[in-house]
Amino acid sequence: MADWKERLNIVYSTNPDFNYETEENDEPETLPKNQQKLRVRIEKHGRGGKTVTIVDGFVGTQDDLKQLAKTLKTACGVGGNAKNDLIIIQGEQKEKIVEILKKNGYTNSK
């Protein structure tokens, strides 16, 4: 049985009709670039005094979110990551990121 990781909390069932229910995260489909309403903001609070730029509002799969984060990090020449539906870019890069997003077709970016 290759699916043992999906049913770690079930040890044994005597019910012959029992089906293992697995949680499937249905990721939302990625909206077209011109329908994405991305918001870019600067944050400093809770980050040890370091300034970061946050891109919020992306609707889509985690792979697409990570790809967009990679594009932004490469264009800005800085580090960062994508988690919890946020893209976090190191440094104060708001104007540059908004410009890059608009150039890449994300027209509803602010």
Domains and CATH numbers, the chain: 28-103 (3.30.780.10)
Residue 12 DSSP SS3: coil
Q: Determine the Cα–Cα distance for residues 74 and 38; give it in Å rounded to an integer.
A: 19
Using pLDDT thresholds of 50, 70 and 90, give the confidence band for residue 28.
confident
> Taking 70 as the threshold, does the pLDDT of residue 52 lie above it?
yes
Using pLDDT thresholds of 50, 70 and 90, give the confidence band for residue 47.
confident
Q: What is the pLDDT of residue 94?
A: 93
Q: What is the mean pLDDT of the chain?
A: 84
Q: Determine the Cα–Cα distance for residues 107 and 63; give it in Å rounded to an integer.
A: 21
pLDDT, mean of residues 61-70: 92
> Taking 80 as the threshold, does the pLDDT of residue 88 lie above it?
yes
